[in-house]
Chain A
């Protein structure tokens, strides 16, 4: 199973719930406003880097660019993907759990 989070961690608890209810090893993809969670130096960075120890983490590049976030602002250990990469992840990891 792959999990997706499309909400800013500063506005909603979607990322918290996703982390709490996902099994170790299952990947998490951040998209839309969810991409803000991938930026370094925020007050959720520690939480996200902890999560990245248990889950492969990915972030949507097109959504980062749209929001003016440069790739050097992305935390270490989070992989940037495009829509094709999103498709590949879904093919590889099975059911998709969208934390809407």
Chain B
């Protein structure tokens, strides 16, 4: 089955992006395809390569990037939400790309399921 995922929160205030990450990993392990993860609202902070969590904390920015390269998951950061929050090409982490909000509607149409994680 094909999944689309929407992530509405960043990695340092809410649990939403952790839940999304674990869901995506579990879906892939079960043989499903995750077509795209769309980062919206503060979710765009998942793509900030300048974020530096402490050594004993998980680094979700890196974990997302690894997932993208290992399993060909399309990680899309909403451009309008990103610009508001200062996420631009210069500080965009590996594995992510910046694009329009139409990418959310598109995956909603193309995927069998869209799952939203937020606050």
Contact = CB atoms under 8 A, between A and B. Distances in A.
Nearest to A97: B116
Contacts of B16: 6, 32
Interface string A68-100: 000000000000001110111011001110101
Contact of A87 (B15, B23, B116, B119): B23
Interface string A21-33: 0000000000111
Given A87-B27, A87-B32, A91-B32, A62 B115 contact: no
B45 interface: no
Given A32-B15, A98-B118, A100-B119, A84 B113 contact: no
Given A96-B113, A96-B114, A98-B118, A91 B23 contact: no
Contacts of A94: 113
A10 B17 CA distance: 23
Interface of A, helix, strand, loop or mixed by DSSP = helix
Interface of B, helix, strand, loop or mixed by DSSP = mixed
A86 B23 CA distance: 7
Contacts of B118: 98, 100
Given A32-B19, A87-B30, A94-B113, 8 more contacts: A6-B16, A86-B23, A90-B3, A90-B113, A91-B113, A96-B116, A100-B8, A100-B118
6 contacts: A6-B19, A6-B119, A82-B26, A83-B22, A86-B23, A100-B119
Interface of A: 6, 31-33, 62, 82-84, 86-88, 90-91, 94-96, 98, 100
